[in-house]
Amino acid sequence: MSTFTAFTTLPGKDASDRLGAALERMLPEPVGVGVFEIEDGKGQWEVGAYFTERPDEASLALLAMAFEAQPFVVSEIPQTDWVTKVKRELTPVRAGRFFVYGGHDAGRVPADSVDLLIEASMAFGTGHHGTTQGCLLALDQLANDGFIGLNVVDIGCGTAVLAMAAARIWPNKVLASDIDQVAVEVAKANVAANHLAGQVDCVEAAGFDHPVLRDKSPFDLVFANILKGPLIGLAPDMSDSVSKGGYVILSGILDEQAEEVIDVYLRNGFNVVERRMIVEWTTLVLKKT
């Protein structure tokens, strides 16, 4: 069965939310609607819908005009066995001492590596993205420099690959949190698959807003591989939640956004230790002064 997508862009969150709500009332009904800010600093938002039947393009055109959005782009996506496709296309990733792989590549794990299993069906955060690679390489460098994380948290953990990496090399329990309950369930499944139950605790939380995180604060290492906007919004809480001399590893930052993020964190009591660019993505290692 084919899936149909319809996407448009327009300025402003309020108008985008209202357009998303209008899409949900269309016939045929979409099976899903998403509203996302485009992280390019231009204030544009993307609104998209997914359909199991071809959408009424005349209705989409009227909605675009009513909300002063760009014309919808409608595409047909043929049925695909995505798990098989991911298994075929995702190769293992080596990032310093860390080796991230799927179960189909279990026979390729190097003997000298710290291995992290992420199944293809749970593929966001597999280590292939430049942000995850950058964070793993930054963690590897901190460990090489003699740092030992005693109180570590992964904010916006996704698959929990970063939390699990820290738990593999250091003895103390690591926390992992995400604002999305589905991500938390995926993280828990990955923790179990990597035999790290009891070493990585996963909780649903927005930023540091959770009793467990507040009780464990301040942390000596925080991962936050999210996006520029949330990273900037988290800066004051990050300053309050990191111990003096502690580190933060930030990513999800486009190269051209890095200076803005750095400026905010400098004003919140951090210094830049390392800046690493992979393709179009920047990873920052900062130290609390």
Instruction: Answer whether residue 124 shows pLDDT above 60.
Output: no
Q: How far apart are the C-alpha atoms of 223 and 135, rounded to whole Å?
A: 8
For residue 218, say if its preceding peptide bond is cis, omega within 30 degrees of 0.
yes
Residue-wise pLDDT tens digits, 164-223: 999 999 999 999 999 888 889 989 999 999 999 999 999 999 999 899 999 999 999 999
Average pLDDT over the chain, rounded to whole? 89
pLDDT band at 123 (very low <50, low <70, confident <90, very high): very low
Q: For the whole model, what pTM was predicted?
A: 0.72
Q: Give the Cα separation of 279 and 265 in Å (integer).
A: 23
Fold category of 3-77 in CATH: Alpha-Beta Plaits (3.30.70)
pLDDT at 283: 96
Answer yes or no: CATH 3.40.50.150 is held by domain 128-288. yes
> Cα(35)–Cα(45) distance, rounded to whole angstroms?
7
Q: How confident is the model at residue 277 (pLDDT cuts 50, 70, 90)?
A: very high
pLDDT band of 43, cuts 50, 70, 90: confident
8 Å CB contact between 114 and 122: no
Q: What is the mean pLDDT of residues 45-63?
A: 93
Q: How confident is the model at residue 280 (pLDDT cuts 50, 70, 90)?
A: confident
Structure confidence at residue 77 as a pLDDT band (50, 70, 90): confident
Delimit the domains of the chain by residue range. 3-77, 128-288
Structure tokens belonging to residue 193: 């698959």
In whole angstroms, give the CA distance from residue 242 to residue 221: 7
Q: Cα(154)–Cα(162) distance, rounded to whole angstroms?
A: 7
The count of other CB atoms within 10 Å of the CB of residue 199 is: 18
Span 186-199, pLDDT tens digits: 899 999 999 999 99
For the segment 106-133, the average pLDDT, to the nearest whole number, is 72
Q: How much is the average pLDDT of 239-256?
A: 95
CA separation, residue 150 to residues 16, 99, 175 (Å): 43, 22, 11
pLDDT at position 36, please? 87
